[in-house]
Structure 1
């Protein structure tokens, strides 16, 4: 029987190397544009396939003076009977700036159920916009996960509504900050939901005219943010145009079902079912862009073992929902060592499963930043 590494080991969801940061800025940080990879039409075998929900990759900050957009990124995939994108892979293995979230965002998208499709393709193009031309909703979304640096002041200024007095000194200070019960709120698989609540303050510091300004459309989170804001209290003084964001961590998106690894064992294999003991167990590391969206995956890897125990001739036999899990599994296996054997072994099989740990309270809450 083939064991999966996630069961044989207990190291689950250890983040891999962090997403590479943007090149360092050398001039005014306010000149950094916001960049967004935007999906085009989806075609399967030449025919348009309209998504039920098409998730956009996360926005990021570019670097100073960035104006020329790189070549588009083309992603190929299939759609299973549940309407889920699977077998996701880039048409070309090219390095594209801030493009790590393209495949995970596609995996979190959905198409109509009941009509599996093959030969699907979507082209992503990069939009580069200065702070004064970026859609306000994109600026608000970036503040919830500012992974490529703090939003420049020019971006914050765009988030303040015209005529706002809420951010004039001395700024109102929270006396009582009520938060939603995040653990009871529904979460979206593969998507970090957020809501930006707008409100004014009356002379006694009580929120009035509380409303949802922007968000991902999670109505329960929107309502909870409004309720929490109404119950909060601030220092006295009438103000207008206040803003406060809340967010909810993604629900885990489980991996598609996979085949029995034994059915993929290479012909003529000399490796025993268990493949021999790991004298140096592989260190399971999660591909970071998929971890942040809570998307699980698996890969089945075939390999040979040299007499001294080093894995070699690695082949990815299957991986879902994307080839990224196969690439990560190959690194995992390559780092391990088996027990030495005089003749070595061939046709060994391991299934590497990437499972998310239980979500903690620290992964849901208000954005830890003021809008200023």
Structure 2
């Protein structure tokens, strides 16, 4: 059996769910030189089946919205293929057609969903329909979710669309004297899904928040209550304002990887690979970013050959859970490694790459055994 741990600095590398709130993004509008505009794209689950039987998709999470430039080819139909275990967890998720496209959250959102338990089902398929709209016409809930977790700066018109009618907070911002935050550790986290509460409030002449209410929310009642309390305790510079917004986010809880079989189950009978291999170079560490954002763990088993001079070749994914994307990332990891030279080459070696979220160290652990 091959045993080694990939590390950048420390013996193990960890990425944890952030418990600090993610502030709303301050943005600028797209360049005026471009005639193109950005549109909001949402992949909506439309129908599901397992074999010939219909599948209830009412509890399937809708992937996070994305922004694309008009004219981009992102409207092709997409299906996710998978199976469901006895706990109602979708496994073996594969995108059809393959690739991320504009919707990197498609497979992770299904991995974080749950179906009715106590009924193992195979050959399951969910069809998704692309819904595209202008920012002006887009759903406010989808826009807020995008703005909170955006990896780049959204356009100014997105925040103009989100702002309450009559708001003057964005045009004449009040200086923040005290920003209070909830005790996020006391708020239940949802495995694989971040929750947020957008609080709307006015500011009176003394700089105190008044007329507080939940503007939009993902539905975490404890977070909603704590967010309202936090805004009530905050203070601003003197001067009345109305229609102000501030989001608080409870990052997703860790969604542990599915159980995996013993590595010997995947080992080929004709393998001549030794139990211990001397690895010469450390491969590049790759944790699928779209799954890391949701704190979803996984694993993959990779088969490969070793040349006498230490090169790794003929890599292939033997198994991967909960989604094929873990296998794709693991295959790149193994392909990038080399071993010490040997008298002869080896064939049909297997390794398992484990992706684990470790909260205390705020990093990602990738272990190969």
Equivalent runs, 1:97-108 vs 2, <5 Å? 97-108=101-112
Cα distance in 2, alignment partners of residues 296 and 164 from structure 1: 41
The structural deviation recorded for 1:135 is 0.8
Measured in 2, the distance between the counterparts of 1:290 and 1:235 equals 40
Deviation at 1:168, TM superposition (A): 4.5
Give the match for residue 94 of structure 2. Answer: 89
- SS of 2:189's equivalent in the other structure is coil
- The normalised TM-score by structure 2 is 0.87
Note the alpha carbon deviations across 1:315-357, whole angstroms, 9 max, x for none.
3221100111111111111111112112211221111101123
8 Å CA contact retained: 1:75, 1:123: yes
Per the alignment, in what secondary structure is the counterpart of residue 76 of structure 1? strand
In structure 2, do the counterparts of structure 1 residues 91 and 192 end up closer, same or farther at CA, with 3 Å as the change threshold?
Answer: same
Distance 2:352 2:254 in 1: 20
Q: Secondary structure at the match of 1:309?
A: coil
Q: Deviations over 1:108-167 (max 9, x none)?
A: 1111111121111011222221111001111111110122x4232222122222223434
Matched positions, count = 348
Distance 1:85 1:359 in 2: 28
- Partner SS state of residue 296, structure 2: coil
Which stretch of structure 1 is more off in the superposition, 290-299 or 54-63? 54-63
CA gap 1:190/1:3 in 2 versus in 1, 3 angstroms? same
CA distance in 1, matches of 2:96, 2:171: 50
Could you tell me whether the CA contact under 8 Å between 1:6 and 1:12 is conserved in 2?
no
Aligned to 1:305: 306
User: Match for residue 173 of structure 1?
Assistant: 175
Partner in structure 2 of residue 162 of structure 1: 165
| 1:70–1:96 CA contact under 8 A, matched in 2 | no
Residues 359 and 193 of structure 1, relative CA distance in 2, 3 Å threshold = farther
Residues 359 and 219 of structure 1: CA distance in aligned 2, closer, same or farther (over 3 Å): farther
The CA deviation at 1:67 is 7.4
The residue that corresponds to 1:115 in the other structure is: 119
Structure 1 residue 45, shift from structure 2 partner: 1.1
Give the drift of 1:69: 5.1
Q: Match of 1:49?
A: 55
Stretches of structure 1 that go unaligned for 5 or more consecutive residues are 15-23, 363-372
Determine if contact 1:199/1:243 at 8 Å carries over to the other structure: yes
Query: What is the RMSD of the two structures over their aligned residues, measured on CA atoms?
Result: 2.6
1:106-255 correspondence runs (5 A)? 106-147=110-151, 149-169=152-172, 171-255=173-257
Q: Decide whether aligned partners of structure 1 residues 335 and 30 sit closer, same or farther in structure 2, where only a CA change above 3 A counts.
A: closer
SS in 1 for 2:319: strand
Of residues 327-336 and 235-244 in structure 1, the stretch that sits farther from structure 2 once superposed is 235-244
- TM-score, normalised to structure 1's length? 0.86
SS in 2 for 1:209: strand
Matches of 2:71 and 2:134, distance apart in 1: 9
The residue aligned with 2:3 is 3
Give the gaps of 5 or more residues in structure 2. Answer: 17-29, 364-369
